[in-house]
Structure 1
Amino acid sequence: MGNTDKFNMIAHTYDTPERIEIAKVSADAIREYVVDAKSKQAIDFGCGTGLVGMSLLDEFGSMLFLDTSPNMIEQIEQKLSELHIQNADTLCFDLEQEALPSLKADYIFMVQVLLHIPDVELLLARLFDILNEGGHVIIVDFDKNENVVSDFVHNGFDQTELKNMMTKLGYNTIRSKTFYSGSHIFMGQDASMFVLDSRK
């Protein structure tokens, strides 16, 4: 995944009060789209230190924390161990580099992950393949923001354009909304975040 080296370096200091707050509002936004999932398998894709997935553990039967950064995975493994959590596992893997046919899930959610992915369409196609029939991909990310200029991340996403791309890939019942705005939350700029729910 894009920017893995950077995330490896900041893994030990990642859980700042600001990131914890963003994770909380993001988890609440995702929870709205989770229905009768107590027996379902979820993937926290690009999980980082697991801030979002940890707060959603009780919603699902089991959860896989997946990230390309070994140091981030080490952080989440430490949390799972300290809290004696049984219904979760971890995987360090780069889905952009290769597909993983054996992996299956009913829910895949990702928070501020897509903006780091150079080939968004390829990744969304691979996530579609992982989904069980009727499963959900839930995306939380930044709305397109012309004030953000970066060589390393997308400057957010136009919700309509993203829906059109996902429809072309086979996703259906796609709905999205802007749910949060904050000061200096995206590369130092004021920005808003959206949640998008889609199904297979």
Structure 2
Amino acid sequence: MGNTDKFEMIANRYDTSERIHIAKVSSDAIREYVVDATSKHAIDFGCGTGLVGMNLVNDFHSMLFLDTSQSMIHQVQQKIADCHIQNADTFCFDFEKEGLSDLHADYIFMAQVLLHIDDVEFVLSRLFDVLNDGGHLLIVDFNKNEKVVSDIVHNGFDQEKLTDRMTKIGYRKIQSKTFYNGRKIFMGQDASMFILDAQK
């Protein structure tokens, strides 16, 4: 996944108060779309240090924290141990490089992950394959922001265009909305965040 090297270096100082706050509002937004999940299996895709998934781990039967950065995964493992969490596991893996046929989930969520992925369609297609029938992919990310200029991340996403791309892959019942506005939260710029829920 994009920018793994950068995340390897910042893993042990990633959990700033701002990131913890954004993770809280993101997980609250995700929870609105999670229904009867105590028997369901979830994947926190591109989990980083697990800030979002840790807020949701008790909502599910089990949760897999998945990331391309081993240093980030180590941070999650420490949290799981410290909190004596029994229903969580971790996996260091890069979907952009390898396929994984035996991984399945009822819910996959990715918070501020898509903007780091070069080939958006490819990864969204792989995640579609991982979802069980009727399963949900929940994406939290930034709305398109022309003030953000970067050669390492996308400058956000247009919700309608993203919906069209996902419909072509096979996702259905797609709904999205903007749920948060913040100051200087995206590459130093004021920005808004959306949540998108898509079903297989």
Relative to the length of structure 1, the TM-score reads: 1.00
What's the % identity of the aligned pairs? 72
1:80 equivalent in alignment to 2:110: no
SS in 2 for 1:8: helix
Q: Return the alpha-carbon distance in structure 2 between the equivalents of residues 81 and 28 of structure 1.
A: 24
C-alpha displacement of 1:156: 0.1
Q: Which residue of 2 aligns with 1:135?
A: 135
Long gaps (5+) in structure 2: none
1:144 shift after superposition: 0.1
User: Could you tell me how far 1:6 is from its partner in structure 2?
Assistant: 0.1
Alignment partner of 1:185: what SS? Answer: strand
**Equivalent residue for 1:125?**
125
Name the CA distance, whole Å, in 2 between partners of 1:11 and 1:17: 14
Deviations 1:104-130 (A, max 9, x none): 000000000000000000000000000
Task: Report deviation, 1:147.
Answer: 0.1
Secondary structure of 2:77's counterpart equals: helix
CA distance in 1 between counterparts of 2:24 and 2:131 reads 25
The aligned counterpart of 2:183 is 183
| 2-structure distance, mates of 1:94, 1:170 | 22
Equivalent position amino acid for 1:151 in 2: D
For residues 126-184 of structure 1, the C-alpha deviation after alignment (integer angstroms, 9 at most, x for no partner) is: 00000000000000000000000000000000000000000000000000000000000
Secondary structure of 2:8's aligned partner: helix
1:8 and 1:196 map into 2 onto residues whose CA distance is 28
> How far apart in 2 are the matches of 1:99 and 1:143?
29
**1:165 and 2:165 are equivalent in the alignment:** yes
- CA positional deviation for 1:98: 1.2
Paired residue type of 1:58? N
Structure 1: stretches of 5+ with no match in the other structure: none
C-alpha distance in 1 between matches for 2:33 and 2:58: 14
- Match in the other structure for 1:101: 101
5 Å-filtered alignment, 1:6-25, equals 6-25=6-25
For 1:181, the aligned partner's letter is N
Supply the distance in 2 between the matched residues of 1:166 and 1:155 (Cα, whole angstroms): 18
Q: TM-score, normalised by structure 2?
A: 1.00
Q: Deviations over 1:16-42 (max 9, x none)?
A: 000000000000000000000100000
Q: Work out the CA distance in 2 between the residues paired with 1:82 and 1:143.
A: 35
Aligned equivalent of 2:2: 2
**How many aligned positions are there?**
200
Q: CA RMSD in A?
A: 0.3
1:41 aligns with 2:12: no
Counterpart for residue 52 of structure 2 = 52
SS of the equivalent of 1:81 reads helix
- 1:58 to partner: Cα distance: 1.2
